[in-house]
Structures are given as C-alpha cells and as structure tokens.
A = this chain, B = another copy of it.
Amino acid sequence: MKGILLIAHGSRRSESNEEVQQLTHTLRNRLDRKTIILCCAFLEQARPSIPEGIDACIQAGARSILILPYFLSAGRHVSRDIPELIHNKQIQYPDITFHLRPHIGSSEGMTDLLLSMIHPEAK
C-alpha cells in the first residue's frame, strides 16, 4: 500500500480546514483505493497534525508515503518545518520510504490552472 499525505497549513476557521478535507475526499474518489491510502494533515491550528497523519497512513498499511505540500509559496513552513517533521518520522520509521514533493505553487500545472480560470470556456 502507498500512502499519500496532503499537507495544508491549517486555519482557525473550520471552514478553511473543511475545504481541505473536501478536496481530499474528491481526490480520494479519483484514486485506486485498493492500493492508495490518502489522508490530509495540518501543520498548525487543526488536526490531524502531520505526525498524526503519517501515523494514520502507516497504521492503514502504507509502506511508502508521498507528501504533497498544499502551499503556494516556499516559505519557512515548506523549506524547513515540513522537511524537519518528515525527517523525524523517517528516524522513527526507518523501513518506510518518504517522498516529499515540491509545494503546489511551484508545480508546472499551476500556470495551466490559472489559464483555465482566465479562459474557463477553453477547459
């Protein structure tokens, strides 16, 4: 089993966190649930935390975990805090493989996404 952890910043506003949970739900429905476990986690302000999300993936049977930082810019959360949390979990679980993807703001697809908002009829 492969785990995927979508990591968001987290907000005091529950509606913002629910948006991330809804996105996770939508994404989960488009993945093969027999081989992929998708969870979301929050850096701060909301639960599950990132360590809790990693634990949940592993307890559900994941042997490798892909980390997707749902962040627009490479601030210290992306450049330092998230890698540190992953590093600590790698020490705790030496047999699990962790893959940390770049934050979504640096994704090549971001330009396409913005273009689709400029020209919605071209989707």
Identify the A interface with B (CB < 8 A): 4, 6, 8, 11, 13, 15-16, 19-20, 23, 26-27, 30-31, 66, 68, 70-76, 101, 104-118, 123
Contacts and interface: CB of A to CB of B under 8 A. Distances in A.
How many chain copies does the complex carry? 2
A109 B112 contact: yes
A107 B118 contact: no
Contacts of A16: 73-75
5 contacts: A19-B72, A19-B106, A23-B114, A68-B117, A109-B117
Given A8-B72, A15-B74, A75-B11, A109 B105 contact: no
Nearest to A24: B114
A114 B118 CA distance: 20
Contacts of A109: 109, 112-113, 116-117, 123
A75 B27 CA distance: 22
Contacts of A113: 104, 107, 109-110, 112-113
A77 B72 CA distance: 15
A70 B72 contact: yes
Which 4 A-B residue pairs are closest in the complex by CB-CB distance?
A16-B73, A109-B113, A109-B116, A19-B73
